Chain A
Amino acid sequence: MITYLAKRILMLIPLLFGITLITFAVIHLAPGEPVDMQISMSPKVSAEARQRIREFYGLDKPLHVQYVQWLGRMARLDFGRSFAPDNRPVTDKIAERIPITLSLNIVALILEFGLALPIGILAAVRRDTLLDKGITVFVFVGFAVPTFWLALLLMYFFGVKLGWLPISGIHSLGSDRLGPAAWFLDMMKHLVLPIGVMTFGSLAGLSRYMRSSMLEVIRQDYITTARAKGLPERTVILRHALRNALLPVITFLGFSLPGLIGGSVIFETIFAIPGMGQLFYQGVMMRDYPLIMGILVIGAFLTLIGNLLADICYSIADPRIRHGRT
């Protein structure tokens, strides 16, 4: 197990290196210089001041020197200062946004699993019945629905038409004067729609995946054996089949992470949630280069960690992976 873990972690190093290289390349492929935007805001900047700013950001040096310097600063978790008017360190700006995005995603993920697994199992067990067909239709529609559109419809219906739920932000105005219980309730009301839409967004994929994984397992000989022993169908499905069918789902979880994190841009922009996605969107609109680079690297890093966790879970669940070739 230790060797497997060590190997797996060592493999992260070239990936991390590649992530920084691609991020750097993406930013520097763009025409114009990162400081152009900052300078163009104040037309009075002279050529000399321009040069000073370029030197300040190290833009007068050759690209590979810039890359190494950037890498060195990043190793110390210093992503530079934001180009936004507040000019704060990018690390601070990201750090205060990450908890919101992560916790929303985790809650949505838990709900997604809680719903998708039973749906998938049910569809597999009742294969080709009306229920299975109904679920299949739901899955196909779920795949095709643009989530931001669904968000708009729900905002219209529950927010505008019925007036039950607030449609933007995560707190009401003046909620800081409420007691802790009321404050929490207020926040929950704000989060129902975003989390609901986020959950729905990935529900279809997972339930479909669970269904096919379950169908695959049910065909196996050991399931026939379990049935032949006269075990009740419930035990066969929930004890013998489910465990094995869950294995590929762990990998699926790892693969779906980049989509989840990336999707936060859309949800957070629509619902005005102050998370990392919204920060990134604002950064992109203002061409805040240090911020864009920082979030790209951190977003990819989170995915790496997520994949690592998924792999570790998988190897715990399936000894074949641990002991066999990786």
Chain B
Amino acid sequence: MDFRSSYFYSVFWKSFRRNRFALAGGVVVAVLFAVSLLAPIITPRDPAAINAYQVLLPPSASHWMGTDELGRDVFSRVIFGTRISLYVGFVAVGIAMAIGTLVGLVSGFYGGWFDSILMRFVDIMLCFPTFFLILAMIALLEPSIWIIMLVIGVTSWMGVARLVRAEVLSIKERDYIMAARSIGASDIRIIFRHILPNAAAPMLVAATLGVGGAILTESALSFLGIGVQPPTPSWGNILTSGKDYLEFAWWLSLFPGLAILVTVLAYNLLGEGIRDALDPRLHR
């Protein structure tokens, strides 16, 4: 399917619209974007404002999600955490997509020993327990939000590379590629004008599902104290306080985790919905 034709969109939308879960996921993702853009307007308080008189207060009308060990408003911190999560999710997936697409295109298009070497490299990367590799890289490079995005991207491109390679292998045998070749189109032109657009649909699915995964990884890293560093609020590092004050303040643990759950769920539903709508075999 070619995503450049309007027919494609009408078929896609017809099928996507019927999937209530996917629609719900899409709506939640849209809301999350709005929330992260409007964070300074929505939040009742400064997420960094410390108040020594209001430490560890349970949820109430003035603090919807309670306060943390420094008296900061948890609701405001969770809202600002949305920004960090979406940001990390997008950039990390962008990096993974860029590397994976490049490797997959080159590997699939040129084949031969180039392909063998790149694919063995993918095999090797897949052997490492991902979380170990991520931890090692971050710890050696000093944790910061940039490093986290980079490291998550650099350790999660392998699936994309395999996917793109498989797509390229099947697309490059088609007649329109032969036609393009016969009129003298260059490799670069064939790859970017003819192959890549036709492989875009499954890549979009992989990217959408990847955002959820990247957000989960970021939150786990921040939870362990080697992700987003305080005082910048992230869902993961609020949960760190949640663990420290587990016996006194359940609200510190409950709300940021719910935020992660809802966000990742929304991305996965959206991604699966897009996949189902794109896959004609599933149309019943």
Pair A296/B123 contact, Cβ less than 8 Å: no
Q: Which residues of B contact A303 (CB under 8 A)?
A: 127-129
Tell me which of A14, A269, A300 contacts B120 (CB under 8 A): A14
Main secondary structure of the interface of B (DSSP, over half): helix
Q: Which of A266-282 contact B (CB under 8 A)?
A: 266, 269-270, 280-281
CB 8 Å contact bits of A247-274 with B (1 = contact, 0 = none): 0000000010111111101100110000
Tell yes or no: A149 within 8 A of B by CB: yes
B38 CB to closest chain A CB, in angstroms? 24
Binding stretch for chain A, among B76-84, B191-199, B243-251: B243-251
Q: Which residues of A contact B253 (CB under 8 A)?
A: 149, 152-153, 156
Q: Which residues of B contact A257 (CB under 8 A)?
A: 129
Tell me which of B128, B135, B137 contacts A280 (CB under 8 A): B135
Tell yes or no: A49 within 8 A of B by CB: no
Pair A19/B124 contact, Cβ less than 8 Å: yes
Binding stretch for chain A, among B42-50, B59-67, B171-179, B216-224: B216-224
Say whether, besides A143-B264, A148-B239, A281-B224, A299 and B140 are in contact (CB < 8 Å): no
Determine the residue in chain A with the shortest Cβ distance to B213: A143
Say whether, besides A18-B121, A140-B265, A149-B253, A258 and B139 are in contact (CB < 8 Å): no
Tell yes or no: B133 within 8 A of A by CB: yes
Q: Which residues of A contact B256 (CB under 8 A)?
A: 149
Say whether, besides A26-B140, A160-B246, A269-B224, A300 and B127 are in contact (CB < 8 Å): yes
Q: Which of B106-147 contact A (CB under 8 A)?
A: 120-121, 123-133, 135-137, 139-141
Q: Which residues of B contact A230 (CB under 8 A)?
A: none
Pair B239/A152 contact, Cβ less than 8 Å: yes
Q: Which residues of B contact A148 (CB under 8 A)?
A: 220, 223, 239
Q: Which residues of A contact B210 (CB under 8 A)?
A: none
Pair B220/A266 contact, Cβ less than 8 Å: yes
Tell yes or no: A90 within 8 A of B by CB: no
Q: Which of B259-273 contact A (CB under 8 A)?
A: 260-262, 264-265, 268-269
Contact count band on A: 35 or more
Pair A149/B129 contact, Cβ less than 8 Å: no
Pair B140/A27 contact, Cβ less than 8 Å: yes
Scoring B140, B246, B247, B250 by chain A CB atoms within 10 A of each residue's CB, the highest score goes to B140
Q: Which residues of B contact A145 (CB under 8 A)?
A: 261
Q: Which of B18-35 contact A (CB under 8 A)?
A: 21
Tell yes or no: B89 within 8 A of A by CB: no
Q: Which residues of B contact A140 (CB under 8 A)?
A: 21, 265, 268-269
Q: Which residues of A contact B239 (CB under 8 A)?
A: 148-149, 152
Q: Which residues of A contact B242 (CB under 8 A)?
A: 152
Pair A19/B139 contact, Cβ less than 8 Å: no
Q: Which residues of A contact B257 (CB under 8 A)?
A: 146, 149-150, 152-153
Q: Which residues of B contact A146 (CB under 8 A)?
A: 216, 219-220, 223, 257, 260-261, 264
Pair B260/A149 contact, Cβ less than 8 Å: yes
In the complex, the number of residue pairs spanning A and B with C-beta atoms less than 8 Å apart equals: 138
A269 to B220 Cα, complex, angstroms: 11
A149 CB to closest chain B CB, in angstroms? 3
A69 to B37 Cα, complex, angstroms: 53
Pair A262/B243 contact, Cβ less than 8 Å: no
Pair B224/A258 contact, Cβ less than 8 Å: no
Determine the residue in chain B with the shortest Cβ distance to A34: B140
Tell yes or no: B254 within 8 A of A by CB: yes
Determine the residue in chain A with the shortest Cβ distance to B269: A140
Q: Which residues of B contact A15 (CB under 8 A)?
A: 120, 123-124, 127
Binding stretch for chain B, among A2-10, A80-88, A284-292: A284-292
Tell yes or no: A141 within 8 A of B by CB: yes
A299 to B242 Cα, complex, angstroms: 30
A59 CB to closest chain B CB, in angstroms? 15
Q: Which residues of A contact B123 (CB under 8 A)?
A: 15, 18
Tell yes or no: B86 within 8 A of A by CB: no
A45 CB to closest chain B CB, in angstroms? 21
Q: Which of A39-54 contact B (CB under 8 A)?
A: none
CB 8 Å contact bits of A30-68 with B (1 = contact, 0 = none): 110000000000000000000000000000000000000
CB 8 Å contact bits of A292-307 with B (1 = contact, 0 = none): 1001100110011001
Say whether, besides A27-B140, A140-B269, A146-B216, A152 and B124 are in contact (CB < 8 Å): no
Tell me which of B131, B246, B265 contacts A144 (CB under 8 A): B265
A258 to B129 Cα, complex, angstroms: 4
Pair B261/A149 contact, Cβ less than 8 Å: yes
Q: Which residues of B contact A19 (CB under 8 A)?
A: 124, 127-128
Say whether, besides A140-B265, A149-B261, A156 and B127 are in contact (CB < 8 Å): no
**Known pairs A18-B124, A300-B128 / 13 extra A-B pairs, C-beta < 8 Å:** A144-B260, A144-B268, A148-B239, A149-B253, A152-B242, A152-B243, A259-B130, A262-B133, A265-B224, A281-B135, A292-B136, A296-B128, A303-B129
Q: Which 3 A-B pairs have the closest CB atoms?
A: A262-B131, A149-B257, A262-B129
Chain A to chain B contacts (Cβ below 8 Å), 30 pairs: A15-B123, A18-B124, A22-B128, A30-B141, A31-B141, A140-B21, A144-B260, A146-B219, A146-B220, A146-B260, A148-B220, A148-B239, A152-B243, A152-B246, A153-B254, A156-B246, A160-B246, A258-B127, A258-B129, A259-B130, A260-B129, A262-B129, A262-B131, A262-B132, A263-B131, A265-B224, A287-B139, A287-B140, A296-B136, A304-B127
